[in-house]
């Protein structure tokens, strides 16, 4: 028997297994492509030949594969793997809340304890300054707390099993805008002879203010207090409209600025111009 079994050894699963090993836990690992265990065996991991062996090996099973469909494909491939009664299954693959609920009911139906987690970190942060949101009933959560704490700061999300994946999905929507916006912003800078690195450095410099803006937007939407902003939606809409002009002048693709400018223009047409930027949520 080992302390923990890690199923899935991609970038994130391998980082999880390494962190457990580094913190002195005995670890069994399994991956569909078996060779990915090779780098972990010299660190002390035991490579299981079958997923059912990995499940049998430990009371705590950490799953981190591409998504919930892959998770079910793994558990469904081998009837023996269904022997999860009494085990703690911690799902750290990303998904949406309905998938978390389905997985919880699947695991609960087989007598397993289930925690649905969401990792807010890059693999290099695991075991150090990672943040992991975890949903589950109090018995399952208490069982998961010690192993998850070896990976980073654990944020309890309560017994609503879809809560961790709901927040992860919300953050992913934010990040989608962040990645697209940065890529377009980098091209703007380059078109004027500036390095994309300067944009990265500048945004890093104002990171605390951006963090505060996220808090502010959350409060505005939650309380419905959109009036009397420091800067209006109208002002932001005018500024964003200029990005379409810039794209045409600089010969850049205009898909992203056009999408953003249209959204703000529709909000202004709907009479939201004097309100907070985030009043676009009303559309």
**Phi, psi for 98 (deg, rounded to 5):** -65, -35
* Site for ligand NAP, residues 106 to 125, rule: CB under 6 A: 119, 122-123
Distance CA 91, CA 65 (A): 9
Residue 88: which residues within 8 A CB-CB, separation 6 or more? 59, 60, 61, 112, 113, 114, 115, 140, 143, 144
Residue 76 or 245: the one with the smaller Cβ distance to ligand NAP is 76
Q: Which element (helix H / strand E) includes 14?
A: helix 11-22
C-beta separation of 18 from 12 below 8 A: no
Pick one of 4, 6, 9, 279: the residue that binds ligand NAP (CB under 6 A).
Answer: 9
* Site for ligand NAP, residues 26 to 55, rule: CB under 6 A: 31-33, 36
Q: Which element (helix H / strand E) includes 212?
A: helix 207-223
Burial class (CB in 10 A: 0-12, 13-18, 19+), 30: buried
- CA of residue 138 relative to chain centroid, distance: 23
For residue 73, state whether it binds ligand NAP (rule: CB under 6 A). Answer: yes
Residue 12 or 261: the one with the smaller Cβ distance to ligand NAP is 12
Scanning 67-75, 185-193, 219-227, 236-244 for contacts with ligand NAP by CB under 6 A, the matching segment is 67-75
Scanning 59-67, 83-91, 232-240, 248-256 for contacts with ligand NAP by CB under 6 A, the matching segment is 59-67
Residue 2 or 94: the one with the smaller Cβ distance to ligand NAP is 94
Residue 36 or 184: the one with the smaller Cβ distance to ligand NAP is 36
For residue 65, state whether it binds ligand NAP (rule: CB under 6 A). Answer: yes
Contacting positions for ligand NAP (CB under 6 A)? 8-13, 31-33, 36, 64-67, 70, 73-74, 93-94, 119, 122-123
């Amino acid at each position: 028997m080992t302390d923990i079994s890690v199923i899935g050894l991609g970038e994130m699963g391998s980082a999880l297994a390494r962190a457990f090993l580094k913190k002195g836990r005995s670890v069994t690992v399994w991956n569909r492509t078996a060779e990915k265990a090779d780098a972990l065996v010299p660190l002390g991991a035991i490579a299981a030949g079958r997923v059912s062996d990995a499940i049998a090996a430990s009371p705590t099973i950490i799953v981190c594969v591409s998504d919930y469909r892959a998770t079910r494909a793994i558990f469904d491939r081998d009837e023996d793997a269904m022997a999860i009664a009494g085990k703690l299954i911690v799902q750290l693959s990303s998904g949406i809340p309905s998938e978390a609920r389905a997985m919880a009911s699947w695991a609960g139906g087989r007598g397993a304890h289930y925690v649905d987690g969401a990792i807010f970190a890059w693999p290099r942060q695991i075991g150090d300054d990672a943040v992991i949101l975890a949903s589950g009933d109090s018995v399952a959560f208490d069982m998961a707390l010690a192993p998850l704490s070896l990976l980073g700061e654990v944020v309890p999300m309560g017994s609503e099993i879809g809560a961790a994946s709901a927040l992860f999905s919300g953050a992913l929507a934010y990040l989608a805008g962040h990645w697209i916006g940065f890529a377009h912003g980098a091209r703007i800078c380059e078109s004027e002879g500036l390095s994309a690195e300067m944009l990265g450095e500048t945004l890093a410099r104002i990171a605390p203010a951006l963090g505060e803006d996220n808090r502010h937007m959350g409060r505005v939407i939650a309380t419905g207090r959109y009036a009397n902003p420091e800067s209006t939606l109208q002002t932001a809409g005018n500024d964003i409209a200029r990005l379409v002009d810039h794209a045409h002048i600089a010969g850049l693709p205009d898909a992203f600025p056009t999408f953003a400018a249209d959204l703000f223009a529709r909000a202004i047409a709907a009479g939201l111009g004097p309100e907070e930027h985030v009043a676009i949520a009303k559309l």
